[in-house]
Amino acid sequence: MTSGARLLVLSELFLPTKGGTAVWAAEVYRRLGGKGIHIVTARVPEDATVDAGSPNTVHRLDLKRTPWLRPESLGMYARFFFKSLALALTHRFSAIHAFRALPEGLVAWLVARLTFRPVVIYAHGEELTTWGKGGKYKAMRLALRHADTVIANSDFTRRELLAMGVRRENIILISPGVDVERYRPGLPCEDLRLSVGMRPEQRLILSVGRLSRRKGFDMVIRSMPELARRGIDARYVLVGIGEDREYLEVLARELGVENRVHLIGHAAPEDLPRWYNACDVFAMPNREINGDTEGFGMVFIEAAACGKAVISGQAGGTGDAVLDGVTGLRVNGADPAAVADALSSLLLDGEILASMGQRGFQRAMQEFAWDKVADKTRNNVMQGR
């Protein structure tokens, strides 16, 4: 691909929708080409502003599920398919890219075969392990096994793809990246620390993510009493929304740490990089629950880009985002004692905390800046091979 690449890209999730997939799709394809890249995505509130500033051509569809249809997604698949087929028949695309196996990948594979173009499908990890072995899983496997190229976001995801029967030679490992101009060290953040009542000598632990059990935020809360017993005066700020909010609030009260745990919900876009700067250490000790796991963990790279050491769980694909003992620590996220030990070891040793943060920052700049990710995509995904 060159700067003039002509691609059809299917991504149900796209800015201004929040989340790593939406950001990844927008950041990479804006660097790979201009209006010759056509992106088919969902219609969402405030999308007109985003589309007006996009260098690509964006097509918005109503991709909501229809409750009275069986399956409910049938109408969405039909709209995705007919719009994509019409574009493929009227444009000289070199390849068709799908940002997930379902729904995008299945549609992309069918359109690609009807129009004799190669197809590239992204795999993110968690979808490979959470959909059981029923019809949805079989449809996903069909799309992935017949794609010309599959982009895996981590070595964990690559192993899962191989176990599904995807050919090794068809898999390329490309991890997502980070906006190193937005996420960077040195941003003013003292006002954020004051907003949660922090004193200068206190340490701040930060987590960012959906309030889901597998993220391990409950284990950070469970570690707070032990940190206090070890003489560590710390507060915990959790940025995010989700189904576990009440559970986490109740847990903090039961443990008597509710005054040191702050669930602040959404952070304003301009404040999120400042929260990373405000913390002493970033923690998301993820674990696997009923097959649901972390495919990579973009938040670890965001924290690293701000010069912070990180703590992750050992489950899923976090080993590609966190180099254990180098840019942070990977621990058993199902063991609160292991989480407490990791937090203690970093918060009590400023030299290790700083050196891990610096190595994480260097790695983020060298490997995960969006320009680097786009270059890797350009160099390794040539017309779906």
* pLDDT for position 384: 42
Same domain, 247 and 128: no
Task: For residue 385, tell me if it sits in a domain.
Answer: no
Using alpha carbons only, give the angle 377, 378, 381 rounded to the nearest 5 degrees.
65
How confident is residue 69, by pLDDT bands cut at 50, 70 and 90? low
* pLDDT for position 174: 97
* CA–CA separation, 5 and 269 (whole Å): 30
- Region 192-213: mean pLDDT is 96
Per-residue pLDDT tens digits for 92-119? 999 999 999 999 999 999 999 999 999 9
Per-residue pLDDT tens digits for 228-284? 999 999 999 999 999 999 999 999 999 999 999 999 999 999 999 999 999 999 999
Backbone dihedral angles phi then psi of residue 282, each to the nearest 5 degrees: -105, 135
Same domain, 363 and 374: no
36-64 burial code (b ≥16 CB/10 A, e <16): bbbbbbbeeeebeebbeebebbbbbbebe
Task: For residue 1, tell me if it sits in a domain.
Answer: no
Same domain, 106 and 138: yes
How confident is residue 2, by pLDDT bands cut at 50, 70 and 90? very low
Same domain, 127 and 226: no
Which of 129, 110, 132 is closest to 119 using CA atoms?
Answer: 110
Using alpha carbons only, give the angle 266, 270, 273 rounded to the nearest 5 degrees.
85
Residue 377 pLDDT > 80: yes
Same domain, 259 and 276: yes
* CA–CA separation, 59 and 38 (whole Å): 7
* CA–CA separation, 98 and 352 (whole Å): 41
Residue 71 pLDDT > 80: no
Task: For residue 110, tell me if it sits in a domain.
Answer: yes
- Name the average pLDDT for the chain: 94
**Which segment of 14-18, 161-165, 305-309 scores lowest on mean pLDDT?**
14-18
Distances (CA, A) of 340 to 4, 160, 223, 227, 260: 51, 30, 5, 7, 15
Same domain, 197 and 325: yes
Q: Which residues pair with 205 in a beta bridge?
A: 236, 281
Residue 335 CB partners (closer than 8 Å, separation 6+): 219
Task: For residue 183, tell me if it sits in a domain.
Answer: no
Residue 74 pLDDT > 90: no
Contact 175, 297 (CB under 8 A): no
Same domain, 215 and 313: yes
Same domain, 11 and 141: yes
Task: For residue 150, tell me if it sits in a domain.
Answer: yes
Same domain, 148 and 210: no
* pLDDT for position 31: 95
Residue 171 CB partners (closer than 8 Å, separation 6+): 149, 150, 151, 152, 158, 161, 162
- Residue 125 belongs to a domain with what CATH number? 3.40.50.2000
Backbone dihedral angles phi then psi of residue 289, each to the nearest 5 degrees: -130, 115
| Total domains present in the chain | 2
How confident is residue 382, by pLDDT bands cut at 50, 70 and 90? low
* pLDDT for position 73: 79
Helix (H) or strand (E) holding 362: helix 350-363
- Region 307-319: mean pLDDT is 97
> Is the sign of the CA dihedral 39, 44, 50, 51 positive or negative?
positive
Per-residue pLDDT tens digits for 8-58? 999 999 999 988 899 999 999 999 999 999 999 999 999 999 999 999 999
Backbone dihedral angles phi then psi of residue 330, each to the nearest 5 degrees: -110, 125
Task: For residue 198, tell me if it sits in a domain.
Answer: yes
Same domain, 17 and 139: yes
Torsion of CA 179, 185, 187, 189, to 10 degrees: 110
Same domain, 329 and 356: yes
Same domain, 168 and 268: no
Boundaries of domain holding 162: 7-177+369-380
How many Cβ atoms sit within 10 Å of the Cβ of residue 153? Answer: 25
Task: For residue 266, tell me if it sits in a domain.
Answer: yes
Task: For residue 32, tell me if it sits in a domain.
Answer: yes
